[in-house]
Amino acid sequence: MIWDKEKECIDKEDLKQLQLERLQSTIHRVYRNVPFYRRMFDKEGIDPDSFSRIEDIKKIPFTTKNDLRENYPYGLFAVPLREVVRIHTSSGTTGMPIVVGYTKGDLKIWSELVARVLSAGGVTKDDVIQIAFNYGLFTGAFGFHYGAEKIGASVIPVSIENPRKQIKIMQDYKTTALISTPSYALLIANTILEMDINPNFLSLKFGLFGAEPWSERIRKEIEEKLKITATDNYGLSEVMGPGVAGECLEKNGLHINEDHFLFEIIDPHTLEPLEEGQTGELVITTLTKEAFPVLRFRTGDLTRFLPGKCPCGRTLRRIDRIMGRTDDMIIIRGLKIFPSQIETILYEIEGKQPNYQIILERQSGVDNITILLEVTEDIFSDVMKEQSQLINIIKERLSSEFGLSFNVKLAEKRSLEKIDGKLKRVIDKRN
């Protein structure tokens, strides 16, 4: 179902006009109310009255995560604190969190936009929605909660619980839609198998997953194990939370809520805009946010605009699933490679979730790429031939995929280098 047909199926020209109007008023509001943007405009000599086309946005410098951090906690709010009715923070893994405020109006729009995403993912007022996101400073749970209420569905705010408890609720309360991260959904799916429960006896029909990158392969796995239709959605707390973009049942990319957000995709190195279809960093400008508007915020997320129309009838443009983070993107001999691409190949060969590390080195001016793959002990005890066979298969697949030769080494379990308990996926020793 299409939640807001008027907006989601809007004529392209009408959309452009609406975006322009909203961009102009947003610029006036941030220039008047946010010292950071006032200083930025004055310093760069940008006249806030000089935006007559959406493309004029390119005059504005990017806003980075660091800019947001430096204005901790309330420096970037565009309204006085007494008008803010909610505070959330970004799940900053490093350093200071980013504090985001919402006015009453922001919360209202947030509910509307999540209602769009939920409807696109198949959810209606007749559904029983189990929200398995953490209720707290993180935006995921609350955003979906509001959207689900807006639709009129029944909401079960379970939050993060042990999977067995989730499954018990799922069985007893007859949950029909699950909201969580894809990895958590997979954990639930695997626990269901472990508990020897037949997923056909669950009432589950839909799953809307987001908050981390996932692949088509994981989608299939979740869909098969839970017997559901799984869709992807995208959001980030710096911009709003969930509700920024979401997949429809065609499962061919995420529709952007373009009447509220302006998307650009840039080359993260040259910072130049990229053409449709090319993968780069997503940059977002909010068009209706009142408390915490951002102009040209560099998300660090990698995706691309998808060409063509979606058969679902929505005219809102689509992006591809998030392929990773800019910090993870590898550029070697001019080629762009994402760890997720390598991961898919390793999975296909190994048949299970691979644990691996990518090492980049420079030897006499030539860049080399090495994959360190963790394997179980039994392969080490096996004959050397099998080991080298595995290495060769991986090497061949990788080089035919990327047109580049790879070094592949096998590593013992738990031997990969970790930083703060987190596996560092890419180690770049070139500089």
Partner 1 sequence: MLIIKNIDVYYGKLYTLKKISLHIKKGEIVALIGSNGAGKTTLLSTISGLIKPLSGSIIYEERDITKENPENIVKMGISQVPEGRLIFKTLTVEENLLIGSYSKYSFKKRKEIKGELEKIYQLFPKLKERKKQLAGTLSGGEQQMLAIGRALMSQPNLILLDEPSMGLAPNIVKEVFQHIVELKKLYGLTVLLVEQNARSALKISNRGYVIETGRIILEGTAEDLLSNKDVQRAYLGRDLDAELRI
| Residues at the contact surface with partner 1, assessed by CB under 8 A | 14, 17-18, 20-22, 24-25, 28-29, 32, 49-52, 79, 82-83, 103-105, 108-109, 288, 290
Shortest reach from residue 347's CB to partner 1, in Å: 47
CA dist 38 and 23 (Å) reads: 16
Treating both helix axes as pointing N-terminal to C-terminal, what angle do 104-120 and 139-151 enclose, rounded to 10 degrees?
Answer: 70
Phi, psi of 264 (to 5 degrees): -130, 150
Shortest distance (Å) from residue 50 CB to partner 1: 8
Closest CB to partner 1 among residues 23, 178: 23
Helix axes 35-44, 12-33, angle to 10 degrees: 100
Q: Is the peptide bond before 73 cis (omega within 30 degrees of 0)?
A: yes
- In the complex, what is the shortest distance from the CB of residue 57 to partner 1, in angstroms, rounded to a whole number? 14
Nearer to partner 1, 51 or 338 (CB): 51
Fill in the DSSP letter of residue 113.
H
| CB 18 to partner 1: min, Å | 7
Q: How far apart are CA 355 and CA 420, in angstroms?
A: 17
- Report the alpha-carbon distance of residue 294 to residue 74 in Å, rounded: 13
C-alpha–C-alpha distance, residues 72 and 95, integer Å: 11
Please identify, using beta-carbon distances, which residue of 289 and 317 lies nearer to partner 1: 289
- Residue that has been written with the tokens 């997720």 in this structure: 340
Between residues 109 and 131, which has the closer beta carbon with respect to partner 1? 109
Q: Cβ of residue 45: shortest distance to partner 1, in angstroms?
A: 17
Nearer residue to partner 1 within complex by CB, 48 or 199: 48
Q: Which is nearer to partner 1, 105 or 157 (CB)?
A: 105
Closest C-alpha among 369, 367, 366, 356 to residue 406 = 369
Closest distance of CB 297 from partner 1, Å: 21
